[in-house]
Structure formats: structure tokens, C-alpha cells
Amino acid sequence: MNVHLPEDPVMLLSVINTKLRDYGMDLAGLCEDMQLSQDELCAKLERIDYKYDKERNQFV
């Protein structure tokens, strides 16, 4: 899947959390499906103080 994601980290947060919720897969599965680097995605969202919570399956 070739996906263009927002550069703005707040918009990126919204898109990723929505996809996690709507597609019902965990972060690893979503990143694999979207051909994203999980490490890079987490690093971008950590810059705005959000970390992936496995129990909630979202960035909080």
C-alpha cells in the first residue's frame, strides 16, 4: 500500500490512531501493511510526547 501520510505530527497522530482503531490491527501489523518503519513512526510521535500503548492499541 503506497500511502502519503501527513508531515505534521499532530495530524499524523490522528491518522495513525484512526487506522489502528478502524482496521483492528496492532502497530506492527499496521506498519507492515502500510510499509512503514515502526521505529521512524514512533520516533516522530515521541517528538510530541506520544508513545504507543499496546493495551489500548493507540498512541497516548
Which of the two residues, 2 and 54, has the higher pLDDT score?
Answer: 54
User: What is the spatial distance between Cα 49 and Cα 23, in angstroms, rounded to a whole number?
Assistant: 24
User: What is the spatial distance between Cα 35 and Cα 38, in angstroms, rounded to a whole number?
Assistant: 9
Tens digit of pLDDT for each residue in 13-23? 999 999 999 99
Tens digit of pLDDT for each residue in 27-57? 999 999 999 999 999 999 999 999 999 999 9
pTM, entire model: 0.90
Q: Domain boundaries in the chain?
A: 24-49
Please report how many Cα atoms fall inside a 13 Å half-sphere around the Cα of residue 38, on the Cβ side. 11
| Nearby residues of 43 by Cβ (< 8 Å), 6 or more positions away | none
- The pLDDT of residue 4 is 83
> What do you get for the CA distance between the two ends of the chain, in Å?
25
| Residue 3: pLDDT band with limits 50, 70, 90 | low
